[in-house]
Amino acid sequence: MPKKEPTPFSKEVYEAARLIPCGRVSTYGEIARFLKRPRTARAVGNALHNNPFAPEVPCHRVVLSNGHLGGFADGAKRKITLLKKEGVISKAGRIDNWPEVFFSFK
């Protein structure tokens, strides 16, 4: 099966997500802002959903701006487990200590 090359915009998203340190989480909006496109939060979500570098890009460290987990291609449960392993406590699809684990690019 042919490989699907991500669009340039998606690549930028992946690089930004890669910068998120272990044990920390960021938001789609933050990434969008980091890319100098504060209104592209939705496009960022689309890019991560397509994320062809799944284990390489920590897409599970990206959540909604309000602290909710949002979505995950492998299932929200998987996201919770991965985050918990990294020290991020989440419960019922929501981050517990959101302000503490929140990571800002700026």
Both tokens assigned to 63: 């959540």
Both tokens assigned to 8: 């340039």
User: Is 90 near DNA (CB under 7 A)?
Assistant: no
User: Is 41 near DNA (CB under 7 A)?
Assistant: yes
Identified catalytic residue from 32, 44, 48, 59: 59
Q: What is the DSSP string of 18-45?
A: HTSPTT-BEEHHHHHHHTT-TT-HHHHH
Least CB distance to DNA at residue 41 (A): 4
Which amino acid does the sequence have at 36? K
User: Is 81 near DNA (CB under 7 A)?
Assistant: no
**What residue ranges bind DNA (CB under 7 A)?**
4, 7-10, 27-29, 37, 39-49, 51, 59-60, 62, 64-66, 70-73
